[in-house]
Amino acid sequence: MPAMRLSWDIFCSVIDNFGDIGVCWRLARQLADERAEPVRLWVDDLAAFAQLERRLDATRDEQDLDGVYIQRWQAPFPAVQPQAVVIEAFACNPPADFLAAMAAQRPPPVWINLEYLSAEAWVEGCHALGSRHPRLPLTHHFFFPGFTAKTGGLLREADLLAARDVFQTHQGAQQQWLSALGLDAQEQTLPRVSLFCYDNPVLAELLAHWSRAQPLCLLVADGKPRRAVAEWLGEDFPPGSHVQRGQLRLIALPFLPQSDYDRLLWSCQLNFVRGEDSFVRAQWAARPMVWHIYPQEEDAHLIKLDAFLARYTEGLSTADEALVQGFWQAWNRGDGEACVRGWPALWQAQARLAEHARRWSDELAQAPDLMQALAAFASEKRQAAG
């Protein structure tokens, strides 16, 4: 059944990092660009959003960017007509007045809770299930991104992989972009690793090891990674800094817009990423990566880590599977000794791991992307409702 023309409300509550708004902003722009449909993005923290999107004016309650109508989510909530599809990102609970307005529409909007990404097996059984609201005539649908045909897929713009391939095979484009980022000709000859992580006690031990190992250029993301490197250095490390410690060249990056962050991932031999948004983009980059999963109480995140590793390492040799699993586990469990011990072999395996990362990306790309899956699901529900 072809997807019908729709309109969209997306609600985003910015928690303590940029993953929530990063996912919502990508989704909103893709809907507006590729489907040319009305999209209204409600965000409760425009100041945080403005760090991610420099064109945003955090002092304005309403504005348009890239075909998306952005509105501050605040109380009292304005009396507005809900769109045909309402997405609450990560169970952020739309306002009661808005839910009442949804219930008054005929047919009511398709109401979707866009869940967090997980590779756990139970996700397939819960994907697209509905739940009736306890008081209102509304059904709440749970939509899970994922890595299999029985989930909703991953965010991927239509031209993303073609743009990646052009960039990665065009040496001049890479040099031009790295120069604009502030790397000189000598720095561009060094092997490159990008660092985007949460606070991690292991990092200091790895930095010390890298300073004694082979030449390496570490491109450090702004925020927590940059502050952690500054603490290790024992000196200020503001954006734009270039510091040498032994064999290690450290470069403090400014906060990058999403399109430039993609190019950073495409430009490096290995990427340390965190959370959900950068984790997905690293997979589309088709480069070796190390994931710092968002820590949860009672180590629930480690179960999710194991579930993804089990899928991701399929097809690797026994030795390389052990390398990847061992280093990722050590990085996420705070085992600095194991990280330092495992790094040389992990780095030496990068050519094989790069081939594996490309295969993994190609396999994921065979499935519809998350935006397409959401549109198809919402269209089906709207048509069934008449």
Q: d(Cα 123, Cα 120) in Å, to the nearest integer? A: 6
Are residues 125 and 164 both part of a single domain?
Answer: no
CB 103 within 8 A of CB 137: yes
Q: Which of 126, 152, 178 is the last residue of a domain?
A: 152
What are the tens digits of pLDDT across the range 245-284?
999 999 999 999 999 999 999 999 999 999 899 999 999 9
Range of the domain at 25: 8-152
- 20 as an active site residue: the answer is yes
What letter would DSSP give residue 271? E
| Annotated active-site residue in 9, 37, 276, 369 | 276
Domain shared by 183 and 146, yes or no? no
Q: Give residue 46's pLDDT.
A: 94
How does DSSP classify residue 297?
G
Quick one: 336 and 308 in the same domain? Answer: yes
Same domain as 207, residue 122: no
User: Is residue 173 located within the same domain as residue 316?
Assistant: yes
Identity at 22, one-letter amino acid code: G
Residues 191 and 93 in one domain: no
My answer on whether 138 and 167 are in the same domain is no
Residue at a domain's end among 128, 152, 176: 152
Is residue 339, in this structure, part of any structural domain at all?
A: yes
Residues 82, 138, single domain; the answer is yes
Task: Let me know whether 131 and 232 are in one domain.
Answer: no
Q: How far is CA 83 from the centre of its chain?
A: 26
Q: Cβ contacts of residue 52 below 8 Å, gap of 6+? A: 18, 21, 22, 25, 255, 257, 258
Assign residue 248 the CATH number of its domain: 3.40.50.2000
| Same domain, residue pair 64 and 114 | yes
Copy the structure tokens of residue 359.
């295969």
Query: Domain for residue 347, yes or no?
Result: yes
Catalytic (active site) residue 124: no
Quick one: 318 and 175 in the same domain? yes
The closest of 166, 173, 163, 213 to 193, measured between CA atoms, is 213
Residues 272 and 359 both lie in one domain? yes
Catalytically annotated residue among 9, 20, 44, 277: 20
pLDDT of residue 78: 94
- pLDDT tens over the chain, length 386 residues: 455 799 999 999 987 667 789 999 999 999 999 999 999 999 999 998 998 899 999 999 999 999 999 999 999 999 999 999 999 999 899 999 999 999 999 999 999 999 999 999 999 999 999 999 999 999 999 999 999 999 999 999 999 999 999 999 999 999 999 999 999 999 999 999 999 999 999 999 999 999 999 999 999 999 999 999 999 999 999 999 999 999 999 999 999 999 999 999 999 999 999 989 999 999 999 999 999 998 877 778 899 999 999 999 999 999 999 999 999 999 999 999 999 999 999 999 999 999 999 999 999 999 999 999 999 999 999 998 87
Q: What is the DSSP string of 298-315?
A: GGHHHHHHHHHHHHHTTT
Distance of CA 62 to CAs 24, 68, 70, 304, Å? 17, 11, 6, 37
